[in-house]
């Protein structure tokens, strides 16, 4: 079976990246992770990639005249590895027109809330402050907005009265690690179709 090629963009810890790699190495997986790229030199995710034997690149945005040039460099790396799907995993930048132009409809992101609630930063804190009883995580296609693209999959997580930001984040993260590989697998199954805001999943 030929496998889909995944490239991951990350800025930090890289626990989602690691869960995606582990899932890709389990029997029967329909994708392989070929590349990790970070905008942060000290991202722990880059070290994880090296330990997995996956090519890992730091691309310093400061070394480029503008975002377009920075993203062109990222596109070069993605194209070199024949990447089919770009997965953002804790990538702390908005995707610009260059990446969207070349990989539109082929970029996923994971967000630690049930979108469209609590987009942007500190979603778990936002959820606790709002007093919701259920939060969770969302995998969505990326568009030009912040966490606004068509939703592929969501997993609910109950909020407990005694939850702190840390405890809620930990339980949501555990679900992120299951949801993201499942969404990637669905993408490569060819059963996803984006119709307007809606992602149709064919049986």
Tokens of 193: 């179709």
Going from the C-alpha of 15 to that of each of 74, 80, 113, 176, the distances in angstroms are: 21, 25, 17, 9
CA distance 162 to 170: 14
Give 130-167 as a 3 state SS string. HCCCEEEEEEEECCCCCCCCCEEEEEEEECCCCCCHHH
Minimum CB distance to ligand GRF, residue 2 (Å): 27
The answer to the question of residue 136 lying near ligand GRF (CB under 6 A) is no
Residue of the chain from 151, 173, 179, 184 that contacts ligand GRF (CB under 6 A): 173
CA distance 82 to 35: 10
Minimum CB distance to ligand GRF, residue 185 (Å): 18
Residue of the chain from 4, 8, 9, 16 that contacts ligand GRF (CB under 6 A): 16
Which residues partner with 86 through β-bridges?
7, 107
Nearer of residues 172 and 192 to ligand GRF, judged by Cβ: 172
The answer to the question of residue 111 lying near ligand GRF (CB under 6 A) is yes
The answer to the question of residue 13 lying near ligand GRF (CB under 6 A) is yes
Residue of the chain from 6, 8, 74, 89 that contacts ligand GRF (CB under 6 A): 89
The answer to the question of residue 119 lying near ligand GRF (CB under 6 A) is no
Nearer of residues 15 and 24 to ligand GRF, judged by Cβ: 15
> Catalytic residue at 177?
no
The answer to the question of residue 78 lying near ligand GRF (CB under 6 A) is no
> With b meaning 16 or more CB within 10 Å and e meaning fewer, what string describes 70-95?
bbebbbebbeebebbbbbbbbbeeeb
**Positions marked catalytic:** 111
Residues that bind ligand GRF (CB under 6 A): 10, 12-17, 45, 89-90, 110-112, 173, 176
């Amino acid at each position: 079976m030929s496998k889909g090629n995944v490239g991951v963009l990350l800025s930090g810890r890289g626990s989602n990246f690691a869960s995606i790699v582990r899932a890709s190495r389990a029997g029967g997986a329909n994708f392989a992770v070929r590349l990790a790229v970070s905008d942060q030199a000290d991202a722990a995710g880059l070290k994880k990639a090296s330990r997995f034997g996956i090519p890992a690149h730091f691309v310093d945005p400061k070394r480029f005249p503008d975002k377009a040039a920075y993203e062109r460099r990222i596109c070069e790396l993605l194209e070199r590895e024949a990447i089919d799907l770009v997965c953002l995993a804790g990538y702390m930048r908005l995707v610009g027109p260059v990446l969207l132009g070349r990989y539109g409809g082929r970029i996923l992101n994971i967000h630690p809330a049930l979108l469209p609630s609590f987009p942007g930063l500190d979603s778990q804190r936002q959820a606790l402050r709002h007093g919701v009883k259920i939060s969770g995580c969302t995998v969505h296609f990326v568009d030009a907005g912040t966490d606004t693209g068509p939703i592929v999959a969501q997993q609910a997580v109950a909020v407990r009265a005694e939850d702190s930001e840390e405890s809620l984040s930990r339980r949501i993260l555990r679900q992120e690690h299951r949801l993201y590989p499942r969404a990637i697998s669905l993408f490569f199954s060819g059963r996803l179709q984006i119709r307007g805001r809606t992602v149709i999943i064919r049986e």
